[in-house]
Structure 1
Amino acid sequence: MSLQITASTVSLTVDDLAASQRFFTTHLGYTEQAAAEGFASLSRDDAAVDIVLLARGTEVLPADQRDRRASGLIIAFTATGIEDEEQRLRAEGVEITMPLREEPWGERLFQVTDPNGVIVQFVEWVTPPAPVDA
């Protein structure tokens, strides 16, 4: 296969572009790379996926996509130090929509939701406890 992917971007259609843009830049460390009427491109300096925000109804979208909203998806970031991150976000007034928890298979995670309902999940993998011999 000759296809070589050089970056990944998720494009989200939202009702209030400015609110999502503020959320991602203020709380999640994104910076604006480009912006125009009904459009904003956001990026981070690490391995996080780039984000393009599109205002619902914008004419750059095909007609059958213009009135759709970002829903039913979770943007998941695998990271380290998520306990501190949850505390920082909580202190900044971000609503933690799923508090930090640890799953039996060794995944620690929590979620926040942006003003347009975009769910952002932070995941940290921990070594599961060794089985106890009976």
Structure 2
Amino acid sequence: MKLNAGIITEKLTETKEFYTNTLNFGVSFENDFYLLMHTPDKSAEIGFLKPNHPSQQPIFQLPFNGKGAYLTIEIEEVDKFYQELKNKGVAIEIEIRDEPWGDRHFAIVDPNGIGIDIVTYTKPE
């Protein structure tokens, strides 16, 4: 079984630019109403769909309202990636930090309002 999440948004262009330039994602598929992107190692994908598209059924019509969703991206060198994004001028929502439950992480926000937690897991204290 494979899972890929989808977000319904008017911001396909901004989303593609953000995920490509900020997170180094690639494009798996794209047309005028749908964008499927993959992580750099192609191990996971996320889709973005324009709202109210006539090819879609009603449950896939309403746009995401910008609240109540997040993504977690696990990487090996969170400090290095944090510095890369800072150097690019990417806005950091939560500065890099260690958590007692074993995360070293920071967070950014995509053009759709989705919080993205970028983490390296460590041993809990």
Instruction: Answer whether TM exceeds 0.5 for this pair.
Output: yes
Stretches of structure 1 that go unaligned for 5 or more consecutive residues are: 130-134
**Aligned twin of 2:91:** 95
The structure 2 residue matched to 1:10, chosen from 5, 26, 36, is 5
Per the alignment, residue 62 of structure 1 pairs with: 57
Cα distance change on mapping 1:97 and 1:104 into 2, 3 Å: same
Counting only pairs closer than 5 Å after superposition, residues 16-55 of structure 1 correspond to structure 2 as 16-46=11-41, 48-55=43-50
Task: State the number of aligned residues.
Answer: 124
Pick closer, same or farther for the CA change 1:44–1:106 going to 2, 3 Å.
closer
Residues 97 and 48 from structure 1, CA distance in 2 versus in 1: closer, same or farther, beyond 3 angstroms?
Answer: farther
* C-alpha RMSD over aligned residues: 1.8
Q: Does 1:128 align with 2:124?
A: yes
Deviations 1:16-45 (A, max 9, x none): 111011100111111112111111111134
Give the SS at the match of 1:83: helix
Query: Quick one: distance in 2 between partners of 1:109 and 1:48?
Result: 20
1:78 pairs with 74, 77, 93, which one?
74
Counterpart Cα distance in 1 of 2:121 and 2:59: 39
Instruction: After the TM superposition, list the runs of 4 or more consecutive aligned residues in structure 1 that deviate by more than 6 angstroms.
Output: none
Identity across matched positions, percent: 21
Partner amino acid for 1:34?
A: F
Deviations 1:79-115 (A, max 9, x none): 2111111111111121111111111122111111111
Asked if the contact 1:40/1:52 (under 8 Å) is kept, the reply is yes
Larger of the two Rg values belongs to structure: 1
Deviation at 1:47, TM superposition (A): 6.0
Preserved CA contact (<8 Å) 2:91 2:108: yes
Q: Any unmatched runs of 5+ in structure 2? A: none
Give 1:57 deviation, angstroms. Answer: 2.3
Q: TM-score of the superposition, structure 1-length normalised?
A: 0.82
Query: CA offsets per residue over residues 37-80 of structure 1, 9 Å max, x none?
Result: 11111113426420111122223332244123063111101221
Distance 1:39 1:49 in 2: 17
Distance 1:30 1:87 in 2: 18
Q: CA 1:64 to 1:8, structure 2 compared with 1: closer, same or farther past 3 Å?
A: closer
